[in-house]
Amino acid sequence: MLKMNLNDLHTAYLRDPLLVDEFSNSLVNFITSIVKSECRNSSSYRHLEDVIGESILEVWEALGSFKPERSQFTTWVNMVVRRNIVDVYRKYNKRQELSIVPDFSIPHQEKGPSDKLTLDRLVGYLNDEDKSFVLMKLKGLSELELDTFFNRREGWANDKWRYLKIKLHALNYGF
């Protein structure tokens, strides 16, 4: 069989579902090349596989929404993957901002490693509103969305987040 570009292969796949292997292999290779190109300057190569995997799933799940009259297939895939890369890094950065790894995973010198609380247990010590706030923040909601959800003034979520990070840190270290 002739080597087809991904746009032609997608069209052929729509007509002949038996081309699923060739189509999926080409799609995976294309997505991998986009992610590697977009993330080449990233310092966290260990997350590259996660980004590739999530991007593949995102594109595959969104295949039904592709409209050939609006763009070429490869342009559409590129857009879906780039949005997914941003989403994945946004989620990762939210977890870093919460300081799960740097602050909460390093046991306090006066406590043994077995005494270290997990994030789930830490959040369990919070009241219901604070739990909801932390979980929504981890899901990637912006501060403006949190202000609106909790029906508070603009900037409240930023203040609340600073307070909760200090509170979680103190709970973890027993202060």
In this prediction, residue 41 carries a pLDDT of 67
Tokens, residue 96: 């870093």
Distance in angstroms between the alpha carbons of the first and the last residue of the chain: 68
Q: Which helix (H) or strand (E) holds 164?
A: helix 156-173
Q: How far is CA 30 from the centre of its chain?
A: 20
For residue 137, give the amino acid letter.
Answer: K
CA gap 24, 20 in Å, rounded: 6
In this prediction, residue 51 carries a pLDDT of 84
Domains of the chain are 6-92 (1.10.1740), 100-173 (no CATH)
For the chain, list residues with pLDDT below 70: 1-4, 41-46, 93-119, 172-175
In this prediction, residue 42 carries a pLDDT of 64
Tokens, residue 3: 């080597």
CB-CB contact of 81 with 58 (8 Å): yes
pTM above 0.85, yes or no: no
**Each residue's pLDDT tens digit, 7-57:** 777 778 777 777 777 888 888 888 889 888 888 766 555 677 778 888 888
